[in-house]
Every structure is written in C-alpha cells, then in structure tokens.
C-alpha cells in the first residue's frame, strides 16, 4: 500500500529512448474477515473482578493484507484493548459483546461474542476456636461459643450450622459443630468446631453426720445403716 512512482522507458531500433513517469497509489479497501470465539467463559477472581484482553476473543480473524488491531466493546461504541468484568455482570450473564478487527488500512469489521461470567469460588470460612464450657450453660448460645469469620468475593447468602451432640445425662461431653457458608451463586464451604461441656462444679456437702462411737467389736460401719 502507498504511492509508488512507475517509470516507463521506450527504446527504438536505433537505441534512442525516452521515459515518462506516473504515480500509482495502491489502496486496500477490503475489510478484514472477523472470526469470534463464539462463547467465552470468564471466572471472577477472589476480588470479584476479571479482565480479558480483546485478543482472547479472536478466533482466527484474517485479512487480505495484515490484521493491525483487535478491540472489544460492551456497547458497540466504545472499543477497548481489554474489558473488565465484576460481580454485577453475574446477574446479566450471558453478555453480548462486539469484537472489532482493524487492518493496516483501518478497514474494520465486527462480530459478536457471547460471554458467560461465573463465580466458582467458595466463601472463605474460619470456624470459631474450640469452646470449653460448663455443662450448666446453653451450648446453642453463640455469644458463648463464638461465630465464624466469613468472606466472599461476590456476597454471602447464608451461614448456618448443624450439631453432632455427644452428651450424657448430665450434659457432659462434646458437641461437634459443622459450620457451612454458602454464597449467592451456590458455592459452599464448611469447617468444624469442637464444643466441650465439662462439670466444673465442686461437690458441696451441706452437713456431715454426727460422730459415732461404739464398744461393740465387729459392728457394721455401712453409712447407709
């Protein structure tokens, strides 16, 4: 492509010659043939975002000369070298984007890309520390047993627990508590907490029996009698 000078030379049989020149402009009016990656899945990271270069949506676009640039757009107006996705895109997924392919002559053509934005990361869940409680207290009181630390990249849905109760008739033993955190998109994670219930109350004697004296040998000393 460009403007070129072409020189013609004419020579007769006697060796006489003359020349003339002309200018030839070579142009490319043929736009590229865009080929889009029809469906692209984007997984959000731990901070709830994802970035994809425009070239990642290109699936073999070609041109009669040379591809110069590939851009991507959400609205078909503003084209960028790459595009960010975040948690707000989850509710609108799948998204329809426009890929624009330029050649060196700035001819361009567009094609459509379908983007599925997904959150596949389970919440971060840290269980409370092991709780050692008196058997007289309520182990269902979370103010005593503690609550887990929960974090998710795109928002929590529910946090709940189930208990495996291993207590005797005196309410002494342990409870194995399974905490589960589930985010808005069905990703879940669990952890275990141990709750030990012990009898820390010392025996209290209200009164002792009177001293007993006998002169009989072999008398029974059974305290029940």
Candidates 39, 40, 44; CA nearest to 120 is: 44
Half-sphere exposure of 127 (CA within 13 A, CB side): 19
List, for residues 70-96, the tens digit of each pLDDT value.
Answer: 999 999 999 999 999 999 999 999 999
Q: Where are the alpha helices (DSSP H) in the chain?
A: 88-92, 142-145
| Token couple for 216 | 């009989």
Stated as kind and residue range, the H or E segment containing 27 is none
Cα distances (Å, whole numbers) of residue 125 to 5, 157, 161: 73, 13, 12
Give the DSSP H or E segment for 135. none
What was the pLDDT predicted at 38?
Answer: 87
Output the pLDDT for position 216.
85
Report pLDDT digits (tens) over 138-188.
999 999 999 999 999 999 999 999 999 999 998 999 999 999 999 999 999
What pLDDT, on the 0 to 100 scale, is given for residue 213?
A: 85
pLDDT number for residue 151: 95
The whole-chain average pLDDT of the chain stands at: 93
Nearest residue to 119 via CA among 74, 169, 154, 91 = 154
**Residue 209 — pLDDT band, cuts 50, 70, 90?**
confident
The whole-number average pLDDT for the span 44-61 is 95
Query: pTM of the entire structure?
Result: 0.71
DSSP codes of every residue in 149-194: EEE-SS-EEEEEEEEEEEE-TTS-EEEEEEEEEEETTS-EEEEEEE
């Amino acid at each position: 492509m460009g403007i070129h000078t072409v020189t013609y030379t004419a020579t007769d049989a006697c060796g006489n010659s003359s020349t003339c020149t002309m200018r030839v402009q070579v142009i490319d009016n043929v736009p590229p043939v865009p080929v889009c990656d029809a469906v692209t899945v984007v997984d959000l990271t731990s901070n709830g975002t994802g970035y994809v270069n425009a070239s990642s949506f290109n699936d073999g676009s070609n041109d009669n000369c040379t591809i110069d640039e590939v851009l991507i757009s959400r609205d078909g107006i503003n084209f960028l070298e790459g595009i960010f996705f975040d948690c707000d895109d989850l509710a609108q997924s799948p998204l329809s984007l426009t890929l624009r392919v330029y050649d060196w002559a700035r001819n361009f053509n567009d094609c459509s890309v379908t983007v599925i934005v997904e959150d596949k990361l389970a919440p971060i869940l840290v269980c409370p520390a092991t709780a050692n409680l008196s058997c007289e207290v309520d182990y269902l009181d979370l103010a005593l047993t503690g609550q887990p630390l929960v974090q998710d990249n795109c928002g929590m849905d529910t946090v709940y627990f189930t208990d495996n109760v291993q207590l005797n008739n005196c309410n002494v033993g342990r409870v194995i508590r399974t905490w589960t955190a589930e985010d808005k998109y069905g990703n879940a994670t669990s952890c275990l907490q141990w709750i030990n219930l012990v009898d820390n109350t010392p025996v209290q004697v209200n009164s002792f029996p009177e001293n007993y004296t006998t002169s009989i040998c072999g008398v029974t000393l059974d305290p029940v009698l």
